């Protein structure tokens, strides 16, 4: 993470959908919380000094073998338990659609995370339904099972969403940490386990029930190609999205389905940047006769036309063991 006095941007794709009738509240954290953050803030130059030692520190502490952690589902997305330096547990959404690690302001305070003084640097966090202002911080210690990360930069939210009967993940483990330091990441959805690979390459299997496709890193997250009706488009492979296959209005137009599908009623879309109802953003479901996706061909596929970039989320991935192979730059799906 480079740091400058200018406002920083971070692409955070987080989409949670639930059937709730009351609109959640999305508002700045209290002035008391902001004062506490400011009290332990550091200068921009101090942050840059700490940042200069991060890479060497993380690499020195890399495990010699894979680390496996259980995860639970919250709003149908995978949430792992990490630990701070004092042994305090931290629930984190394992979000392959988020380029950076993000903490709530309350978690940052609990973990003793210093942030750059707000008059020297701020961040703009971009989500699928809006944006919000945040701070730039430095996690001093984060333990992921047997993987100890001595220090790592993060963004700290200064807004929070509450109410509406939704379980909101307060913190996000971004894809940057994993893609930079792991040889592979496996999300075993049926087994509810996440494996962080180190040293050895991923041992890919062949045979029935296994499919694979290349991926590339774009804006810090995994991007794959989809195709249907002779049209090809790029898509984020996004474990932080509740949904299955989502396309943008632009892709819907290219596929000739932009005027199809009834608007979905009664769902709430919650993301960094706010919360909106499904009818407000004209979320609608259409059916494609065929879809080429992650090395497989699917027939009569329902996809959602929704805000933000096209993505494939956890509802599609839930039946698979999904591996991001960073050496071969391929995604593997195993049933």
**Cβ-based neighbour number of residue 287 at 10 Å:** 12
CA end-to-end span of the chain? 36
Q: Which domains does the chain have, with CATH numbers?
A: 23-197 (2.40.70.10), 210-334 (2.40.70.10)
Phi, psi of 199 (to 5 degrees): 75, -80
Structure tokens at 61: 């502490």
266 pLDDT band, cuts 50/70/90, is confident
Parallel/antiparallel/unpaired status of strands 142-144 and 77-84: antiparallel
User: Residue 23: pLDDT band by 50, 70, 90 thresholds?
Assistant: low
pTM assigned to the model: 0.91
Q: Chain centroid to CA 242: how far?
A: 11
Residue with more model confidence, 297 or 168: 297
CA distances from 178 to 67, 93, 271, 277, 309 (A): 12, 13, 22, 32, 22
Lowest mean per-residue pLDDT among 8-17, 37-46, 129-138, 205-214: 8-17
For the chain, what percentages of helix, strand and coil (3-state, to nearest 5) are there? 15, 45, 40
pLDDT above 60: residue 4 = no
The confidence score (pLDDT) of residue 78 equals 96
Question: Percent of the chain scored above 70 by pLDDT?
Answer: 91
Give ∠ CA 330-223-178 in degrees, rounded to 5. 65
- Confidence at residue 164, expressed as pLDDT on a 0 to 100 scale: 61
Mean pLDDT, the chain, as a whole number?
89
Question: Residue 222 — very low, low, confident or very high, per pLDDT cuts 50/70/90?
Answer: very high
For 271-308, the pLDDT digits (tens) are 777 777 888 888 999 999 999 999 999 999 999 999 88
The SS3 call for residue 192 is coil
Give the number of other Cβ atoms within 10 Å of residue 55's Cβ. 13
At 210 the three-state DSSP class reads: strand
* Tens digit of each residue's pLDDT (9 = 90 or more) over 74-94: 888 999 999 998 899 999 999
The region of weakest confidence among 8-17, 65-74, 265-274 is 8-17
**The two structure tokens encoding residue 168:** 């909101």
SS3 label, residue 244: coil
pLDDT for residue 207 is more than 90: no
Alpha helices in 206-328 (DSSP H): 249-255, 314-317
235-256 per-position pLDDT tens digit: 999 999 989 999 999 999 999 9
- Whether pLDDT at 12 is above 60: no
CA distance 228 to 235: 13
Query: What is the per-residue pLDDT for 163?
Result: 66
């Amino acid at each position: 993470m480079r740091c400058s006095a200018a406002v920083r941007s971070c692409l955070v794709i987080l989409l949670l959908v639930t059937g709730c009738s009351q609109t959640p509240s999305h508002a700045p954290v209290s002035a008391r919380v902001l004062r506490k953050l400011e009290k332990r803030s550091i200068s921009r130059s101090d942050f840059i000094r700490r940042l200069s030692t991060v890479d060497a520190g993380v690499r020195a502490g890399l495990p010699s073998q894979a680390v496996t952690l259980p995860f639970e589902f919250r709003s149908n997305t995978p949430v792992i338990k990490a630990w701070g330096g004092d042994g305090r547990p931290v629930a984190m959404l394992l979000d392959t659609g988020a380029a950076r690690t993000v903490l709530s302001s309350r978690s940052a305070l609990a973990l003793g995370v210093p942030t750059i003084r707000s008059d020297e640097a701020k961040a703009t966090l971009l989500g699928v339904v809006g944006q919000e202002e945040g701070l730039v911080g430095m996690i001093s210690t984060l333990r992921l099972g047997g993987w100890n990360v001595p220090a790592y930069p993060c963004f700290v939210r200064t807004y929070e969403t509450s109410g509406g009967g939704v379980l909101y993940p307060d913190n996000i483990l971004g894809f940057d940490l994993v893609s930079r330091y792991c040889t592979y990441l496996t999300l075993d959805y049926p087994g509810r386990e996440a494996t962080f690979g180190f040293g050895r390459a991923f041992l890919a299997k062949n045979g029935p029930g296994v499919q694979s496709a290349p991926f590339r890193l774009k804006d810090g997250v995994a991007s794959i190609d989809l195709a249907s009706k002779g049209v090809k488009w790029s898509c984020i492979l996004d474990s932080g999205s509740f949904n299955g296959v989502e396309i943008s209005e632009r892709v819907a137009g290219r596929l000739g389905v932009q005027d199809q599908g009834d608007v979905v009623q009664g769902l709430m879309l919650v993301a960094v940047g706010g919360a909106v109802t499904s009818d407000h953003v004209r979320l609608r479901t259409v059916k494609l006769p065929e879809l080429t996706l992650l090395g497989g061909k699917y027939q009569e596929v329902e996809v959602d036309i929704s805000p933000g970039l096209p993505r494939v989320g956890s509802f599609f991935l839930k039946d698979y063991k999904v591996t991001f192979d960073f050496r071969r730059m391929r995604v593997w799906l195993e049933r």
